Amino acid sequence: MKTEARNLSAPFLASGSVTLGPSESGVVDTQRTSIAFRKPIMLDEIRFQASIALDLTGNLATINLGDNVRARIQLGRFAMSNSFVPIWHFGSRLNLEHTVDSSTVDLGVFRTNISHFRWRLPRPMFIPAGQSVITEFFRTPLTQSALDATCWVSYAGRYLAPDVEIPKETCVPYVTAYLLPQLRSAITSVATGQSGENDLYNPFSQPFHVQRAIGRLLQVTNDGGAVRSYLENSSPNANAIGALANRMNIKMWDSYGREIANAPPLADISGGSMSIMVPFNDAFVYPRAAWTFHRTMSARERYYVQWLDTNPENVDSMTPSVSIVGWRKETL
Amino acid sequence: MPSFNRAFMPPKMPYQYPNTTPLSLTATATVASNSSAGVNSIALKNPMGQPMEILEVRFQLNTIGYPGSNLSTILGGMIYCKMDLGEHEITNGFVPTWCFGKWESPLEAFVAVTQLPAEQVYIYQTYIWKLPKPLYVPAGSVLIPTFQHTGLFQNTVEISVTYNCRSFPVGTPPPEKLSLPYVAAYTSKTFERSETETDESTETDLVNPFSVPLHIQRFVGRLQVFQSNVSVAQETPPTTTAAGSGRVADAPTSYENWQIKMVDMLGRPIVQDFTPFRMVFDAQSRSWEMDNGAVMDPNSYIIAYCRKAAGTGVIEGGPYFSQAFISVVGWRDLVGGDTK
């Protein structure tokens, strides 16, 4: 076997972490995530893990950190996200993302909440030798807890031979998200909202190839005025099928006014018609939290999302968010 | 000079066979604790006497749990399997049955508890391995599995192994090139919960013993947490329940306190620094999926370094131990002659 062909495509994984309190941000140490021996790699997957140990003597019992922890990812001058995007908005759901471990200590009871997310890139991305993907994490403010969370990111891929021909262009994945400025509070009168022009937007002067749209519903449960949990709403809730499942509805359309997610209008009692919005968990079916469709957005094209909460006075609040995941070509 | 485009194109199927017939073959074995057993290999032979391709292997492990409790036990790390196709080894010795495929769903492990006439706990676990490439089995040959019960669990285990195949029509010529799957695994020593421990694999664990590259389908990473009497063996710690129930979780013993680093035989990093176990072997599939052209060099090995931090505090029902299982699953191409 010739020397230059050895380790032609050996696998590679690098990880790094930061510990953040609420409203703090931090950049993952690039020394840990840089590729050793200055070799080029093909990056296939980015993984996130966030964990927090909650004191169970407090009110907050469970938290899925997918919304609370946000990441901004960059490779040199190539942005891979439109800003800080919640870490559950990069990849679709495959399986259980959130687990809760408990340990008993002499002084009290702690419960470690661990949230895992995986983003299989829509196209493998070429990382030139000597460069590294930079991830910056940010945590949003959190009521009921000022505890630190440990945020990990891993980059998984494979080495390329040192003499591989550097491509003239590479596929750079990109995620753009529509997020509410803050979590909706319980018993709110605000029942509807709409994304802005810079949310689900292709900011590039070239086509953006959409892989999927991801939709997440953060449900904040309250108990006597105190927040008990931040978890993702699951429509297969035996107590709430037909209620919580259809409580949040959405409508989507593009820059040209073409409807993407909507339902046919029904006649109302006055003889007119009203547009029915699609239940959130029908558009972003719960097992995947995603809607995979392959479409190319033109330069500067955008999508709009309007949401409607049919029961905003419920003690449990629901905050929707939507992201578009895809890739574009960039010249190296 | 290798071109960039070819570097990341996925491998293609070498041939296509039309007019095949689906076929499912099942054999069973009963393995007592601390023993091994084979299966009736006739049951795994194509009854039509024609060549076939195996597309998927399934293991179903059934046992009865400890009465008087609702304790569940995970068997994938206690039942091992060795597979051979004639002179060709498909596994590097005995490999844990949960180290072949990725974690498909929480229903991988199912527990049924009956209350009458007395409480009985029935445990069913299914592990599925979709082969990286279909395995061609010549007419009259059998892929022979042999099972081993490590003895960590005292009850007998009934094992069913199923091959999902397709049978070829009479007169189908054999392929010019064969792809043989291969699985090599490493099982760490058991670490007691309150201790900080390290371990590493040897040169004969995660190994490619062949003189051709081993194309990697995935790395599988599993963690087992169990009590000293193995009345409870879990993969991911459950949430706390009432005192005395036995199903007690422990965050410091769980995967978060395990860290992994991997290097190849020349010391080059595969997992660059000590990384949380579930950041390497993704929590949603218990694996690191490849299918991107990654290979192990011929006659090479990977060393996995494990490190576990000590747990804190006191846990009911202890002492508790944990153990890591890592495997590399892939295939090699066999083109005429002996490639060993």
B251 vs A47, A112, A161: nearest CB: A112
- The beta-carbon contacts of A28-31 under 8 Å, at least 24 apart in sequence, are A28/A134, A28/A135, A28/A136, A28/A137, A28/A151, A28/A153, A30/A132, A30/A134
The answer to whether the CB atoms of B251 and A156 lie below 8 A apart is no
**CA angle B280-B77-B225, nearest 5°?**
70
Q: What would the mean pLDDT of A88-111 be, rounded to a whole number?
A: 69
- Helix ranges (H only) for A177-311 are 244-247, 280-283
Q: How confident is the model at residue B74 (pLDDT cuts 50, 70, 90)?
A: confident
Sign of CA dihedral B249, A90, A322, A262: negative
Q: Which residues pair with A307 in a beta bridge?
A: A193, A250
Q: How far apart are CA A97 and CA B16, in angstroms?
A: 38
Residue B111: its pLDDT value, please? 65
| Mean pLDDT for chain B overall | 81
- Helix ranges (H only) for A233-278 are 244-247
Q: Find tokens 């490779």 and name the residue.
A: A75
B40 pLDDT higher than 90: yes
B33 pLDDT higher than 60: yes
Alpha-carbon Rg for chain A in angstroms: 21
Phi, psi of A35 (to 5 degrees): -85, 130
Q: How confident is the model at residue A208 (pLDDT cuts 50, 70, 90)?
A: very high
Q: In chain B, what percentage of residues exceed pLDDT 70? A: 75
The answer to whether the CB atoms of B297 and A161 lie below 8 A apart is no
Q: How confident is the model at residue B121 (pLDDT cuts 50, 70, 90)?
A: confident
B187 pLDDT higher than 90: yes
CB-based contact, A95 to chain B, within 8 Å: yes
Q: What would the mean pLDDT of B27-35 be, rounded to a whole number?
A: 94
Residues 133-162 of A with CB under 8 A from B: 152, 154, 156-158, 160-161
Is pLDDT larger for residue B287 or for residue B291?
Answer: B287
The answer to whether the CB atoms of A116 and B282 lie below 8 A apart is yes
Residue B113: its pLDDT value, please? 64
* pLDDT, tens digit, 9 for 90 and up, residues B219-236: 999 988 776 655 555 555
End-to-end C-alpha distance for chain B, whole angstroms: 28
Number of H helices, E strands in chain B: 2, 22
Q: Which residues pair with A102 in a beta bridge?
A: A111
| Mean pLDDT for chain A overall | 82
The answer to whether the CB atoms of A13 and B8 lie below 8 A apart is no
Q: In chain A, what percentage of residues exceed pLDDT 70? A: 85
Q: Find tokens 């999926």 and name the residue.
A: B289
Is pLDDT larger for residue A267 or for residue B88?
Answer: B88
Contacts (Cβ under 8 Å, ≥6 apart) of A144:
A58, A59, A60, A226, A227
Q: How confident is the model at residue B257 (pLDDT cuts 50, 70, 90)?
A: confident
Contacts of B292 in chain A (CB under 8 A): 9, 42, 44, 124, 157-158
Q: How confident is the model at residue B243 (pLDDT cuts 50, 70, 90)?
A: very low
How do strand B320-334 and strand B214-227 relate by DSSP bridges?
antiparallel
Minimum distance, in Å, between the CA of residue B54 and any CA atom of chain A: 26
Q: B64 and B123 in contact (C-beta within 8 Å)?
A: yes
**CB-count exposure of residue A233 (10 Å: 0-12, 13-18, 19+):** buried
Count of CB contacts below 8 A, A vs B?
A: 167
CB-based contact, A309 to chain B, within 8 Å: no
A100 vs B2, B239, B294: nearest CB: B239
Is pLDDT larger for residue B213 or for residue A4?
Answer: B213
Cα A216 versus chain centre, distance: 8
Sheet strands (E) in A262-316: 263-267, 273-276, 278-279, 290-297, 302-309
Q: What would the mean pLDDT of B2-25 be, rounded to a whole number?
A: 58
A236 pLDDT higher than 60: no
For residue A163, the chain B residue with the least C-alpha distance is B1
Contacts of A167 in chain B (CB under 8 A): 4-5
Contacts (Cβ under 8 Å, ≥6 apart) of A181:
none
B338 pLDDT higher than 80: no
Among A115, A61, A111, A113, residue whose Cα is nearest residue A87? A115
A329 pLDDT higher than 70: yes
Least confident of A246-250, B16-20, B196-200, B297-301: B16-20
**CB-count exposure of residue A11 (10 Å: 0-12, 13-18, 19+):** buried
CB-based contact, A96 to chain B, within 8 Å: yes
pTM: 0.86
Whether residue B319 has a cis bond before it, omega within 30° of 0: yes
Q: What would the mean pLDDT of A245-252 be, rounded to a whole number?
A: 79
Is pLDDT larger for residue A124 or for residue A94?
Answer: A124
Residue A240: its pLDDT value, please? 44
Contacts (Cβ under 8 Å, ≥6 apart) of A245:
A235, A237, A279, A281
**Whole-Å CA distances, A279 to A29, A43, A112, A261, A316:** 41, 35, 33, 10, 18
> What is the ipTM metric for this complex?
0.83
Q: Residue type at B112?
A: A
A10 vs B5, B7, B270: nearest CB: B270
Q: How far apart are CA A168 and CA B78, in angstroms?
A: 51
Helix (H) or strand (E) holding A139: strand A133-139
**CA angle B214-B217-B222, nearest 5°?**
115
A102 vs B236, B251, B268: nearest CB: B251
